[in-house]
Amino acid sequence: MSVNQTDPMIGRLIDGRYQVRSRIARGGMATVYLASDLRLERPVAVKIMHGHLADDENFKERFIQEARSAARLAHPNVVNVYDQGQDDESAYIVMEYLPGITLRELLQEHKVLTPEQATDILEAVLAGLAAAHKSGIVHRDLKPENVLLADDGRIKIGDFGLARAASANTATGAALLGTIAYLSPELVTRGIADTRSDIYALGIMLYEMLTGEQPYKGDQPMQIAYQHANDTVPMPSAVNPRVPVDLDELVQWATARDPDDRPRDARAMLDHLFDLQRGTVQPGMQQTRVLPAAMAPTLRNPTLPQGPTGDTQILGQAPAAGQARHRTGPVLGGDTNAEALARKAHRRRRSGFVLLVVVVVLALLAGGTGWWFNFGPGGRVAVPSMSNVSVPDATAKLKAAGFAVSSNQVKTFDVAIPSGSVTGTRPQGGASIQKGSTVSLVVSQGPRLLPVPTVLGTQEEGAKAALAAFTVGDSSYQFSTEAKGSVLAITGKDATGGTEDLSHATTYGEKQPVTLTVSLGPVPDVTGEALATAQADLEAVGLKGQQTDSQYSDGVPSGAVISQADPAAPVHQGATVGLVVSKGPQPITVPDETGQTISGAETALKALGLQVTYKDCKPAAICTALNWKNILTVATQSPAGAATAHKGDTITLTYNAIGIGG
C-alpha cells in the first residue's frame, strides 16, 4: 500500500467530516484513500471519482450506482458502504476500511493455491455473491482484484461499480465492460449479463486459483474473447494433477458456454459446494443437465457401457445380491469324482497363493502410500501459527515443521506488533499444505505513519476528533494562564516506550497512544476572602487551601486572606495553595505620658499611630504667647499608661494650669 504525500487530496477534509490520511489505490474511475471519520472516530476508505470524469454524466451515474447497489447489501462477505455524496464537484463513496491484500496479490505471490485454500475463498465469495443475487444485483466485474483478503482472515467482495439490476439484462453495446479474462460467452457475443454471468467469472477465478493461470491466453483481447465464446474451459487437473475430481466438475459446471447449463445463481452453487463438503454428493452428480459432447465423457463412469454420444442406456440386469450363477449337472468331460476334486484342490491352492500375493502387494502399497502422505514428500502439514516473534525464531519454527522459507518477506503495517517482528505467514497459520512447500513471512513495519494535525491552542473535544486516527487516552489537566479547555501540549510514545513530544511532530504511528495536556484555567485568586470561603473556592477546582501563616494587617480584616502562595508550575489538581491569614491591626501598649509636656506627649503618641485630644488653653492670647504646649505637663491620660490600644485609637490628655484657665 503506497502513500503519496504529493497527492493534493491528502490532508483534505471532505464534506466537513472525512479527513484524508493517505492513498490506498488508484483505478480507472476513482482513487481510494484512507481517511478518518471525525464524527464516528473510525478509519474508513473513501473512493473519490477522478476529476476529469466529473463532467461525464454516464460515469457519474455509474459511480453513484455503485454506492446504491452496495449499500443495499449487508453481509459479512461484502464490503460495507457507509455514505455517498459530492464535495467540490467530486463524487465520493465512503466504505469500510479493510487492511489486507487482494486475491490477485495472493495469486501473484503463491501462483497456485491448494484445493482447501481455493475452496475456502470460493465459499466466502459465493456467500457474499448469494446475498447480492438475492437482492437482485449482478456484480458484472468479478475478478481477483475485487476479492479482498483482510489481515484478520475475513474475505469480502468489493467494487460493485459495474453492478446492474439482475432483471435488466441490458446490452452494453460495443464497449464490453469488465475484464476480458472473466467475461462470460453471452457477454462477449450478446452483451447481456445475469446472475449466471457472475457464476462464469467465478468459475474462471476457481480455475486460476487451482492452476495459477487463466484458461485462455492471447496477445489481443479479441483472441481471448473468441475463446470464451467458442471453446470449453479445460479441467484444472489437466494442468495441476492434484486437483480433485469434484473441483474439476465444479469448474466445468460453472463455466459451461450455455448459461442454462450453469448454476442458476450463487446460492445454488454454494449449496452444492456444501453438499460436496459433507460428502452427500459424489463427483458427476451435481445437477441433471444435457452435456455438450466435449464434456459428456468427463462425467460418465468409465466402468459402465457407453453409448456413442453418452446418452442414457438400459443395461442388462445383473444378478441380485446373493444370487451368484452356479453351474449345475455332471462334471463335463467324463472326469471321475476324484479327478474333479483334485483339480478343484489345485485351483484352491493356486488361488490362495495368488490371494496371498495380492494381499502382500496391497499391504506394501498401503504402507508406501501411508509413508508418502504422512512422512514422505507427499505429506500435508499444518502451517504453524505465529505472531509477534522474531524472524529467526519464525524461520526456525517453519523449517522444523518441514517447510522452506521464502527470502521475499511480505511487508505489512501493524499497530500492535513492533517493526521487524513476524505478524503471520502466507499461507496463514493453520492452513494444511504440502510438506516442503515455501512459506512467506509476514513482517511488521510497525504502524503506518500518519500526519499529526496541529491541535495546540484548540479546545479539547475538537483536538480529540482531529486525532481520531490515533489512540487518544485520558487527558492530563493542569492550571495555566491559557483559557480553560485549551490544549497546552500533545505527547506520545517513542520506540523505547518513553514519552515523545508531538507538539511539533509531522508524523506519528497509526493507532499509537496520544495524551493531551489541557488547561484548567488560572489558579483562582482568593486574597481578601475569608479563610473558609477561600478554601471552598479552591476545593471547587480541585485544589487544597492551607493556612501557612497569620500576620497583622491594618488593611485586611481579621480572618481574611492577606496573600496566597501558588505551587511551582505545572500546577495539577490536588496541589496545595498556601494562605497567609490576617490577624487584624497590630495592638499597641500605650506609654505613660503623665508629667510630659503636652507637645512631647502628643508627638510620642502619634508616632505610635494613635490619635491625641486635649482641651485648648484659655485665654488664647496668653497661652499662645507663653507657648503653653511646651510649658504645661500632662496631668492624666485615658487610656492610662500600659493599656492596650490599636492604631487609630484616641488618647485623651488633661493638664493643670496656674493663672491660666484650662
Residues 190, 173 contacting (CB under 8 angstroms): no
Cα 264 to Cα 255: distance, rounded to the nearest angstrom: 12
- Within 311-381, where are the H helices? 337-374
User: Cβ distance 37 to 13 under 8 Å?
Assistant: no
Mean pLDDT value across the chain: 81
Choice among 26-40, 102-116, 475-489, 585-599 with the minimum mean pLDDT: 26-40
Inter-CA distances, 237 with 215, 247, 348, 431, 593, Å: 12, 9, 43, 21, 130
Identity of the amino acid at 161: G
What are the φ/ψ torsions at residue 131 (nearest 5 degrees)?
-65, -40
| Structural domains present in the chain | 13-96 (3.30.200.20), 100-287 (1.10.510.10), 382-444 (3.30.10.20), 449-519 (3.30.10.20), 531-582 (3.30.10.20), 587-655 (3.30.10.20)
Catalytic residue among 83, 87, 141, 566: 141
- Residue pointed to by grid coordinates 501459527: 385
Over range 124-146, report the average pLDDT.
Answer: 91
What's the pLDDT score for residue 319? 36
* DSSP labels, 48-89: EE-GGGTT-HHHHHHHHHHHHHHHT---TTB--EEEEEEETT
Statement: residue 330 has pLDDT above 70: no
At residue 526 the predicted structure's pLDDT band, cuts being 50, 70 and 90, is: very high
| 382: three-class secondary structure by DSSP | strand
Say if CB 237 and CB 263 are below 8 A apart: no
The torsion angles phi and psi of 553, rounded to 5 degrees, stand at -145, 130
Helical pair 103-110 and 195-211, crossing angle rounded to 10 deg: 20
Please tell me the predicted confidence (pLDDT) of residue 366: 63
Q: Which residue has the higher pLDDT, 551 or 280?
A: 551
DSSP 20: E
Residue type, 465: A
| pLDDT band at residue 67 using 50, 70 and 90 as cut-offs | confident
Whether the CB-CB separation of 121 and 155 falls below 8 Å is answered with yes
pLDDT higher than 60, residue 140: yes
Residue 567 CA, distance from chain mean position: 43
pLDDT of residue 550: 94
- Per-residue pLDDT, 356: 64
- Which range (114-118, 265-269, 360-364) has the least confidence? 360-364
Give tens-digit pLDDT for 362-396.
666 666 655 555 555 556 789 999 999 999 999 99
Residues in the chain: 662
Overall average pLDDT of the 264-273 stretch: 95
Percent of the chain with pLDDT over 70: 79
**Pairing relation of β-strands 561-565 and 404-405?**
unpaired
pLDDT band at residue 66 using 50, 70 and 90 as cut-offs: low
pLDDT in the model for residue 371 = 57
Q: What is the pLDDT of residue 485?
A: 96
Cα Rg of the chain, angstroms: 48
pLDDT of residue 597: 94
Pairing outcome for strands 404-405 and 438-444 = parallel
CA-to-CA dists, residue 27 to 14, 85, 94, angstroms: 20, 19, 16
Contact 74, 80 (CB under 8 A): yes
- Residue 335: pLDDT band by 50, 70, 90 thresholds? very low
Q: Which three cell numbers stand for residue 123?
A: 465459499
- Answer whether 146's CB lies under 8 Å from 157's CB: yes
Is residue 141 flagged as an active site residue? yes
Residues 494-513 have pLDDT tens digits of 888 899 999 999 999 999 99
- 58 vs 227, which has greater pLDDT? 227
391 burial class (0-12, 13-18, 19+ CB within 10 angstroms)?
A: middle
Instruction: Tell me which of 492 and 432 has the higher pLDDT.
Output: 492
Grid coordinates given for 175: 464497449
| Residue 35 DSSP SS3 | strand
Q: Residue 242: pLDDT above 90?
A: yes
For residue 36, what pLDDT is reported?
95
pLDDT for position 328: 33
Contact of 126 with 112, CB cutoff 8 Å: no
* pLDDT surpasses 70 at 600: yes
Write the CB contacts of 50 (distance below 8 Å, at least 6 apart in sequence): 29, 30, 31
Q: 603: Cβ–Cβ under 8 A, 6 or more apart, which residues?
A: none
Q: State the Cα–Cα distance between residues 578 and 547, nearest whole angstrom.
A: 6
**Are 179 and 28 within 8 A, CB to CB?**
no
Say how far apart CA 137 and CA 140 lie, in whole Å: 9
pLDDT at 551: 94
Using pLDDT thresholds of 50, 70 and 90, give the confidence band for residue 452.
very high
What is the rounded distance in angstroms from the CA atom of residue 520 to the CA atom of residue 296? 82
pLDDT band for position 55 (cuts 50, 70, 90): low
Neighbouring residues of 656: CB distance < 8 A, sequence distance ≥ 6: 632, 633, 635, 662
Residues 117 and 417: their CA atoms lie apart, in Å, by: 26
Q: Per-residue pLDDT for 310 more than 80?
A: no
Q: Please tell me the predicted confidence (pLDDT) of residue 173.
A: 37
**Grid cell locating 58:** 454516464
Q: Does 614 score more than 50 pLDDT?
A: yes
Tell which wins on pLDDT, 344 or 33. 33
**Number of CB atoms found within 10 A of residue 199's CB:** 26
**Between residues 14 and 173, which one has the greater pLDDT?**
14
The residues, ordered by sequence, that sit 6+ positions from 589 with a Cβ below 8 Å of its Cβ are 642, 643, 644
On whether the CB atoms of residues 151 and 298 are closer than 8 A, the answer is no
* Of 416 and 366, more confident: 416
**3-state class percentages of the chain: helix first, strand second, coil last, to nearest 5:** 30, 25, 45
